[in-house]
Amino acid sequence: MEKGSMKIINKDQEDEMEVLGYCVSRWRLALVCVGVLCTGGLLLLLLYWLPEWGVKSTSTPCPLRDAKILLLRSTDEFRRWFRVQVHVMQAPGRNPFDAVDLKTSPANGHRTHTLSMGFILKSFAFLTSPPPQICYFTLHSMQYFWNDTIQNFEVINGMEDQRLSCSSIVSEHSSGLSRPQQEYRRLFFGENEIAVRVPSLFKLLIKEVLNPFYIFQLFSVILWSAEEYYYYAATIVLMSVISIAISLYTIKKQYVMLHDMVAAHSIVRVSVCRGRKEVEEDLSTDLVPGDVIVIPSKGTIMPCDAVLISGTCIVNESMLTGESVPVTKTSLPNSDTEGRELYNTELHKRHTLFCGTHVIQTRFYAGELVKALVVRTGFGTEKGQLVRAILYPKPTDFKLYRDAYLFLLCLVGVAAIGFIYTIVLSVMNQVPAKTIIIESLDIVTITVPPALPAAMTAGIVYAQQRLKRAGIFCISPQRINICGQLNLVCFDKTGTLTEDGLDLWSVHRAENGRFVQPEQDPGTNCELESPFLACMATCHSLTKIDGELSGDPLDLKMFNATGWILEEATEEETSLHNPIMPTVVKPPKQPKAREPEVTAAQDQSMELYELPDTYELGIVRQFPFSSGLQRMSVVVRRLGGKHMEAYLKGAPEVVSSLCQSSTVPENFTEVLEDYTSRGFRVIALAHRQLESKLTWHKVQSLNRDHLETNMDFLGLVIMQNKLKPESAEVLEELRQANIRTLMVTGDNMLTAISVARDCGMIGPQERVIIVDAQPPGGGRAAMILWHYTDCPTALANKDSHFQLVKMESDGALPDGGLRGQFHFAISGKSLAIIMEHFPDLVPKLVLRGTVFARMAPDQKTQLVEILQSVDYFVGMCGDGANDCGALKRAHGGISLSELEASVASPFTSTTPNISCVPNLIREGRAALITSFCVFKFMALYSIIQYLSVTLLYFILSNLGDFQFLFIDVVIILIIAFTMSLNPAWKELVAQRPPSSLISGPLLFSVLTQIMVCLSFQALAFVLVQHQSWYEKWTPLSDACNTSRIGLSISPNTTHPTDHKNIRNYENTTLFYISSFQYLVVAIIYSKGKPFRQSSYKNWPFVLSCISLYIFLFLIMLYPVSAIDNFLEIVCVPYEWRITMVIIIVVNAVVSFVLETLVLDVILWRFVFNEDKLRKDGVAPAAQNTQLSNDQWGSRFLAWVFCRNRKTPQTRFIQLAQELQDDLDWPPRPQTCTYGTAPHHSLIL
């Protein structure tokens, strides 16, 4: 590409691309049109397959701003090309956020929903010259607009591009947009709709049939029809039609499923603010960034991404997080400190309502509306990005398919040799031109078998049917083969490895600075007015939805354990009172307190007033749980009491650090370690009595840090996150099969490490190294802290808000025996920092990373891509829509949910546990081996037939049409479709199937079998010509009479003439020899254990082989006149028949010995045993490799095959071997690594 005019769009993003501008050249276009006509459309097909050629051949390069056509190329490893057309639109401004003055809006107050350019122009009074023209193009459902300032195209995302502070959003953008402003912005943002267009069957058909394989099949069918070879042509056409129909059905079904998922709630009616007080109804498709919408009190499905500027919402975000847990969203902060922060959807997600999420209900007071500012629309929203990832996924790179094309190119090369050979031989023998053309082209269709795609698809279809019977449904059948290569599987935690919720195991209260005995039932064992019980009953974010208590499962378990009752103010009560109307909790069987009437004077001061002396607690203020702070707190007042109290819960070490040391038991650390080492989730509780002078209004503006200090420690709540019964067993099965497992979860680090130990991902004696990365700041560079632990015990570090662990007491490295037994645990925040500031460490960390906690959905996808970049074949198992991107990107993604995730995931299991993963891998391995077997068989079939035809061309003969038909249909198709029926082996083995067709074992297998077949065909071809009875065959020839040996064989009945010279002794001999060669190759290639069950259990294949053997031996030894005439076979002496039997048997023995003994035993053991990882994931030690190389036989064979010092091809094995010899890896305990010196560590 011309670097001078090349630009980069989406720089440093996942979809970064190079872009180059072109203008159409008329003379080039005319030349291409002439070329298309001269080639009969073949040039047009070539330009369709190669869009970069199409653009460069019809256009000339030009500056980007003047371009009419753009050529884009992705900067990833796939280097994909895209061609787009540049469009031009007129608009009053160049940016949707330009400050343009509007004179008036439409007089009649009405407008259509179709954008009117005339209306826009009339709305702008100042326009005295033509409006500017703006260039833009659309790619993957995103519009890119030309920006004169940066001289490049860019995406306009929404309000975030304005870099607004939180306070300015609330103060300056809360009144909404006028209609002309909305229409103006819609010119840039378009309709607010995630439109998944379901293509018509005709478009899908055209795209499918233009596949190069189908074009080649069409060429073959035309050629065979010209040769009057109609039967096989009809068979190929039938198979192609069935294949295309199945493919179209599958693709159409996926589009419809995605369309239905997106369109279910994509268009709703919304209330839009026009100015301070005016509110009008509108369709959600008309929304643009900057609009202010009113969230209805009964809830809605969000049609866009919007930030709350007033009020509170209860939202179900299962579409994003995968967990149906209501989340409280509050209005954007407007205080001095927080208000100055620039708004960011990620940082302020607790104030942002995301598209597709369900607003269950809102909290509004005294006529105040719950309003939200639209920040992103359409495909720019979180849901839109998810849909884009499904619609336009990155291609999955699988070596099998790349090698298949290379192998086919080799066959094309062989065909080219045969093509030239045929032409030269035919010209030398003065064969007619028409015959030369047909026969030379025919040799190409013989060498590259048109039935290859259908034959290889058969194994995948059979595997798909077996998976369906096992409860695993597949929407991307090609992924089944890839699953056979999986060597690493990522698991989500909640709902995948563990049950969805937590169970309360016990409580461990502290009194007077000492722990009392653990209690199983706090509701009955604790005193009614105990602060511990009050904290459990009040410190939560629960709410009632349709009369049902909803919220975080942990909060639900804790509250239900108290047995208390929660009451919320009704809608009528809320509308009569101020926002301070509290949620009340009380013990069961308490008379309901009567709410006092509040006068206007009381409403201003809101001093505490006396209530009946009933034990009820009102939650006055709530500080929601923060994953950064690892805690939540509430302000509570006992109705009738004179003091307010603060209750706090969170990570034990965080809570203890906020408590007075005299209230924390001395054995706190030991007790905590005891619980966490057993995998329990531990929550600490604390409380504090507030000053009596605090009023209700003062509490509403109270600073959180001021509240959460000098607390009294109350004790511990021990929760149990139960593993699913199948999890540990399945993970052990995968470990035994040398398949790495790791956890990728949105949960916190402590829980993730505990579950990883419980399920066996981390062994009892294996260390966990928590990688705590901190961004640069305060004059220092970014750094990584390395924390070693023997058990997952959290410590406090409120400055970094990171869960630390008990560290080693000294700075020494672990002893050599333990160096290999460690696992990294990394949070999503740390991973992002490391990727930015320590990119060279990322491959090393993922090599031994086992726990990835607090991972956002896009980070899960990034992790999958990182693992793939070091040559892992990655599987992903999850149950939520937050796993969608990772499920789609992984080589094999399997969803345990039938909701949104199943649309993105290639596989969906109806069994809600991970037992489906080994089943999928076993079937994938069986399908992969089947693909190798079928590919090798079809390659040998084409070469064997190629050899036969080439030898016969030497005497100006060929195989007859019915001989071709018998071989192609009766032998090849039956064998190819039945040899694929072997079921998967019953267990996973440590050995992995090969992934490449261009590999030593396969090439040895194919080349040796080709040499064997060529040798025996040439031997038979020469021998038959040296027989005493041999003569040039004529219809009157009767070679059978030369030797009867007691058999009565009638002479051949023949046609008077044979224009094609089909009937001759060479033809008959090669027909018999080659027919048996097909069967021999099929049998030796149809391998069973360890990936497939033995072939003798595949009764259709066994029955087909036996039947064909019997039939061929019968017609060869005891010829039947009708069959001989049909197959155009001539009669040969019985002695020659016996000779052919001997040749066939010797051929079979030689083929069997070479494939089974030489390849599978000798060469696999001494030559092709590539380096593999041990079960702990580390490459074998050098001395173990040296021991095998010390054997003279293996050294000699390795020298012969040029594999003496062969380095592993996979990057993760290379890296493992390098790190094994690196004594400074892993970094020492209690050290930190700085960004300025990534490879240097300092002891703290």
CB distance 893 to 907 below 8 Å: yes
Angle (CA) 681 685 687, round 5°: 170
DSSP 1161: I
> Can you read off the two tokens belonging to residue 455?
């034959």
Query: Which among 395, 316, 406 is positioned nearest to 353, based on CA atoms?
Result: 316
Residue 943's contacts (CB-CB under 8 Å, 6 or more residues apart) are 411, 414, 447, 1010, 1013
As a whole number of angstroms, the distance between CA 979 and CA 927 comes to: 11
Query: Beta-carbon neighbour count of residue 958 at 10 Å?
Result: 19
As a whole number of angstroms, the distance between CA 492 and CA 761 comes to: 13
As a whole number of angstroms, the distance between CA 457 and CA 465 comes to: 12
As a whole number of angstroms, the distance between CA 634 and CA 620 comes to: 7
H runs (alpha helix) in 1044-1120: 1065-1085, 1099-1117
CB distance 931 to 286 below 8 Å: no
Residue 449's contacts (CB-CB under 8 Å, 6 or more residues apart) are 455, 938, 941, 942
Active site residues: 492
Place of tokens 């009381």: 602
As a whole number of angstroms, the distance between CA 541 and CA 560 comes to: 13
Strands 644-650 and 472-474: unpaired
As a whole number of angstroms, the distance between CA 1242 and CA 1227 comes to: 10
As a whole number of angstroms, the distance between CA 304 and CA 740 comes to: 39
Cis-peptide into 1226, omega within 30 deg? yes
CB distance 569 to 361 below 8 Å: no
- Please tell me the number of Cα atoms within 13 Å of 106 on its side-chain side: 13
Please tell me whether residue 916 adopts helix, strand or coil conformation. Answer: helix
Place of tokens 């598209």: 355
Radius of gyration of the CA atoms of the chain, in A: 37
As a whole number of angstroms, the distance between CA 1154 and CA 1012 comes to: 9
User: For residue 48, which phi and psi values (nearest 5 degrees)?
Assistant: -70, -40
As a whole number of angstroms, the distance between CA 1033 and CA 1079 comes to: 28
Largest pairwise CA distance in the chain: 130
Place of tokens 């990034």: 862
As a whole number of angstroms, the distance between CA 430 and CA 440 comes to: 14
CB distance 823 to 848 below 8 Å: yes
As a whole number of angstroms, the distance between CA 1241 and CA 1149 comes to: 63
- Please tell me the number of Cα atoms within 13 Å of 598 on its side-chain side: 16
Place of tokens 């050995």: 991
Q: What is the C-alpha end-to-end distance of the chain, expressed in Å?
A: 50
